Amino acid sequence: MKHGFDLRTLIPKYLQWRRSQNKSQMTICTNRGHLEQFCRWFEERGISHPGHVTPKNIAAYCSFLIFYRKSDGGGLTTSTRIQRLSVIRMFYRWLLKQKFILDDPTGDIVLPRCSPQLPKSILTPKEVDRILQQPNIRRPVGIRDRALLETLYSTGMRRSELANLKTSDLKLSSGIVFVRRGKGRKDRVVPIGEIASQWLKRYLSDARPILNKGDVKEILFLSYQGKPLTPDRITGITRFYCQASGVQKSGACHIFRHSMATGMLENGADIRYIQEILGHVHLRTTQIYTHVSIRSLKEIHRQTHPFERE
């Protein structure tokens, strides 16, 4: 076991190794936050060396996460606890491999089971249209926002994928968009509809040249200051138009992703096709939409079943 190292000095070394594994900046930031909280919790209890952490300490930390309360009074979701414990377990496996510790105290961690979470809100096509009509398309920013919303709904992209989208990723004449380094650092190709393509063409010709004050050549969506839009800013833009439309459903970027997938499934798309568009590694992740679409199936059943119509 190597001496002279504590948890706080080892975290940056671990994150540097994660970068060498080609992990995204978002993953690195998330890992840092979870490990720093882990480090603070143990420092408050007088434990600073990773080799002094015992399985009993780890069990106590697991209990801490169960009863942890955020500033709004809410607890951590099961998926969040799984993520935090997974980060800690990977950290300790690295420590063991690098011989900073002799034994791994996280070996007995049992990750909680996480049931698939159904989307809280799904937009109808009419509600989507109301939201899409909100941007003021007489202004360059409004054209940008309309193109952004249309792209979100047409492709089902994640906000981080949209923020990273480059002008060279658009093949509008072929009706496709390249998503580079999506979740899991994987590339994929997704189709984009004609309406969204037309709005992107208008944005590229009429709005982006005006917004591009700093001569940004690559990133597609730019702010009023001419800088690339961040994922958080894209969320803010989307949420603003959702609220402005008067649609009484909570959500921002992901509500478009959920609504697109659910609508396609209800209209007869094969679930594996939807899996490919959304970039899900596992089919079971996509299958949550089959539970959502049962709502419309029940309504069709009520309206058309012979016994129900009597």
Render pLDDT for 27-76 as a digit per residue (tens, 0 to 9): 888 899 999 999 999 999 999 888 899 999 999 998 899 888 877 777 88
Residues serving a catalytic function are: 158, 183, 254, 257, 280, 289
A 10 A CB-CB count for 83 gives 17
Edge to edge, the sheet with strand 188-191 lists 170-171, 176-179, 188-191
**Using CA atoms, how far apart are residues 259 and 202, in angstroms rounded to an integer?**
25
Return the closest-CA partner of residue 1 out of 87, 106, 95, 89.
95
Return the closest-CA partner of residue 2 out of 87, 97, 107.
97
pLDDT at residue 191 greater than cutoff 60: yes
Listed by start position, the domains of the chain span 7-97, 125-303
State the pLDDT at residue 261. 81
Backbone angle region of 83, left / alpha / beta, with phi > 0 → left and psi within -120 to 50 → alpha: alpha
Q: How confident is the model at residue 255 (pLDDT cuts 50, 70, 90)?
A: confident
pLDDT at residue 107 greater than cutoff 60: yes
State the pLDDT at residue 248. 81
Burial code (b: 16+ CB inside 10 Å, e: under 16) for 20-42 equals eeeebeebeeebbebbebbbebb
State the pLDDT at residue 138. 95
Q: What is the second-level CATH architecture of the domain 125-303?
A: Orthogonal Bundle (1.10)
User: What DSSP character marks residue 228?
Assistant: B
Q: Look up residue 12 and give its two tokens.
A: 């940056």
pTM over 0.85: no
pLDDT at residue 156 greater than cutoff 60: yes
Return the closest-CA partner of residue 149 out of 290, 263, 259.
259
pLDDT at residue 302 greater than cutoff 60: yes
pLDDT at residue 307 greater than cutoff 60: no
Q: How confident is the model at residue 146 (pLDDT cuts 50, 70, 90)?
A: very high
CATH classification for the domain delimited by 7-97, as one of 1.20.1410, 1.10.3470, 3.40.33, 1.10.150: 1.10.150
Ranges 10-14, 86-90, 287-291: which has the least confidence:
287-291
State the pLDDT at residue 115. 57
